[in-house]
Amino acid sequence: MIPKLNPELALDASIVAFSKALLAAGFSGDIETSYGSRLAVATDNSVYQALPQAVLLPKTTDDLVILTSLAQTSSFCHIKFSPRGGGTGTNGQALTEHVVIDLSRHMRGILELNVEQRWVRVQAGVIKDQLNAFLKPYGFFFAPDLSTSNRATIGGMINTDASGQGSLVYG
């Protein structure tokens, strides 16, 4: 039986302190602790559910540096973090009862394409279909064939080892 989520649970004091410390350190992304924001990432494409205490939505790589540096301090090293892309995983990898780091809202840039060397540099929140639409005029594509390719993010695919069909043929 899947346990029912309880919206009445109070936010953990250490999560509140971490959120305040992020802002003080210059974190420019979004910090969401409302029940609705947390509920939106409490499930993925699996049967599991876990209501997080907070959702962090970094805007820049500097935000990620601030976040990970702060997370290593003795005051906050007990907090668990789970990166999240499109929420299309089927094994609950992106779920946690602590802090979700959602990279799909702001970190969606295709940063660089080197046609000669055949590589592309993207941010973690780029959706697979978005990447393939960008690559198509150059005769390239990102091969894994996922049923969720219109919402699965590159970062999420890498994080969860989601290779899909075609991975053995194309790399």
Give CATH for domain 13-102: 3.30.43.10
**Mean pLDDT on 144-167:** 79
Question: Which distant-in-sequence residues (6+ apart) come within 8 Å of 97 by Cβ?
Answer: 50, 51, 52, 53, 80
CA atoms 13, 89, 156, 38: torsion sign: negative
User: Residue 133: what are its φ and ψ, rounded to 5°?
Assistant: -65, -40
**Mean pLDDT on 9-37:** 94
pLDDT class for 159, splitting at 50, 70, 90? confident
Higher pLDDT, 76 or 7: 76
Is 76 a residue whose pLDDT tops 80? yes
pLDDT attached to residue 92: 87
Query: Tokens 């899947």, residue?
Result: 2
Is 89 a residue whose pLDDT tops 60? yes
pLDDT attached to residue 168: 55
Q: How far apart are CA 122 and CA 1, in angstroms?
A: 39
Per-residue pLDDT tens for 116-125?
999 999 999 9
pTM: 0.87
**Mean pLDDT on 7-25:** 89
User: Residue 102: what are its φ and ψ, rounded to 5°?
Assistant: -95, 115
Q: Where in the chain is the domain with CATH 3.30.43.10?
A: 13-102
